[in-house]
Amino acid sequence: MSDWWRGAVVYQIYPRSFRDASGDGVGDLKGITEKLPYVADLGADAIWLSPIFTSPMKDMGYDVSDYCDIDPVFGSLTDFDQMIERAHDLGLKVIIDQVLSHTSDLHPWFKESRVDRTNPKSDWYVWADPKPDGMPPCNWSSVFGGPAWEWEPRRRQYYLHNFLNEQPDLNMHNPEVQDAILATMKFWLNRGVDGFRLDTVNYYFHDQKLQDNPPNPTISPEDSPSETYGWQQHIYSKNQPENIAFLERMRTLTDEYDGRMMIGEVGDAGETAIQLMGDYTQGQSRLHMCYTFEMLSHAYSAGHFRGIIENFQKGAPNGWASWSFSNHDVCRHVSRWEDHAVDKDVLAKQAISMLCSFEGSIGIYQGEELGLEQTEMEYHELTDPPGIRFWPEVKGRDGCRTPMVWDDHVHGGFSEVTPWLPVKAPQRARNVAGQLGQEGSVLEHYRAVLSHRKATPVLISGETEFLDTPEPILAFVRRIDDVALLCVFNLSQTDQSIAIDGLGQISGPSIAAKIEGNTVHLGSNGAVTITQSALGKTFALLG
């Protein structure tokens, strides 16, 4: 089925932390292959692998030094082929991360480019002369702190790096660079991958005039003392209109293969993010779908979630979204939202119930189905550059990247040796073996909700209509023709009730919910989906 990705459940695997089969303390491809039946039984349709390519690991694989080989820490191309074969046998699609905006500074392309201004790859990266006073050509800042420019003495020029200085930005304005990138994508398509997750997809192009970014009037140093990137409006260093034409070239390539897809990570927020999602997924010639960080924040309210979805409906009426609450870059959502719950397990259950009711495709980050919280890290345990550099104001991303917990053994069944990041007691207590088959566990709730979603077409492709409910109630109807399903959530710690006409029966798993006449009662972080009382009946608020 060519559009398998519409409404799909994509399970993100962070390879370093999923399963160590080789016994070196780092997860690997053989370990992933071993545990694929677990992912399939959970109810996922696809897996997304964070980068597994050859890399010096300055940014844990998001600094690629060879786009067409596997880093030895993860295994070999043979291991990769065997993993794909096993995934396909289990009915799982395989999506791999593509980090195309930048490479490692150890990539052969950059090694050649930095030597002088006349070599064949001299224009493959973003180089610029200094200002007369020796300062960088413009004020662009790095996501990881400080200027986005690094001096190269051999060329007497600066190069652009939107992230670490070991991650130089490719010059996508150069057609040769585009051709080379497309060739690397073709390499993996020919190996049978089903799709690409495109890292920082809105960073591919820069303003060639190198104009200064204006300040962001909504943020002050007092609001963000350790994260200076947000002090600018990044209207020249990313989000350039030339991006569209390259996305169309990428789509032309993937369309040469049956059933392949691309999902883009839009590294932005607010109206800009929604606009880009719409632009990038418009029609049939660009990306298949996009996601932003809008639902990966600390915000947790009915108005917040409704606003994001409605803004996408308005800004991208022909686009397709992918929503998730956690990934490898942010604090796990149970920890982000714990102040809004009495019981963290109930919060975890509500989260997947709510996510599975949203229009679009959904992403699950490994371990969230166990209700895993953010791991509290000590400074000496850190590996993530932002955390190391800006501790303690910035804790880094290691806390959401600690190993998967398969059982209650000392390292959580992840490895027989000390792992690259620690497995601590709060995480180990929520292991797979302790929850599998246990009625009432977070894991079994995930399995039940994903099964219900898959068996309910209106949750896959139905349109969304919101009811004007007051906080903290989020309520909306998913509808296909005369078939409708009402979804109601209590985003608070206190019991809530609301009167709605047209109530039928509870459909699928619910949380602390009951129906009395025309009234829905929900306990703390309650969740329920309800059929309509009669075919074609309209749900309506009462009172």
Q: By the 8 A CB rule, do 436 and 443 touch?
A: yes
Last residue of a domain, one of 453, 485, 505: 453
Q: What is the pLDDT of residue 63?
A: 98
Amino acid identity at 3: D
CATH number of the domain encompassing residue 421: 3.20.20.80
Q: What is the mean pLDDT of residues 478-491?
A: 96
* 196 falls within a domain: yes
pLDDT, tens only, 271-330: 888 889 999 998 999 999 999 889 999 999 999 999 999 999 998 888 899 999 999 999
* 151 falls within a domain: no
pLDDT, tens only, 13-46: 999 999 999 999 999 999 999 999 999 999 999 9
Same domain, residue pair 409 and 482 = no
Catalytic residues: 199, 256
* 113 falls within a domain: no
Last residue of a domain, one of 423, 453, 483: 453
Looking at residue 129, the DSSP 8-state letter turns out to be P
Total structural domains in the chain? 2
Same domain, residue pair 212 and 298 = yes
Q: What is the pLDDT of residue 1?
A: 67
Same domain, residue pair 449 and 479 = no
Same domain, residue pair 75 and 23 = yes
Same domain, residue pair 402 and 516 = no
Same domain, residue pair 87 and 25 = yes
Same domain, residue pair 449 and 471 = no
CATH number of the domain encompassing residue 475: 2.60.40.1180
Q: What is the pLDDT of residue 218?
A: 85
What's the pTM value of the predicted model, to 2 decimals? 0.97
Tell me the residue range of the domain where 243 lies. 9-102+175-453
pLDDT, tens only, 226-278: 678 989 999 999 999 999 999 999 999 999 999 999 999 998 877 888 889 99
Last residue of a domain, one of 393, 423, 453: 453
Helices (H) and strands (E) in the chain, counts: 14, 21
Q: By the 8 A CB rule, do 5 and 50 touch?
A: no
Q: What is the pLDDT of residue 268?
A: 82
Indicate the SS3 state at residue 10: strand
Same domain, residue pair 500 and 435 = no
* 334 falls within a domain: yes
Q: By the 8 A CB rule, do 373 and 492 touch?
A: no
Distance (Å, whole) CA 301 – CA 164: 34
Supply the DSSP string of 279-308, one letter for each residue. HHHSTTSS-SEEE-SGGGSS--SHHHHHHH
Q: Which of 436, 532, 514 is nearest to 478 (CA)?
A: 532
Q: What is the pLDDT of residue 227?
A: 73
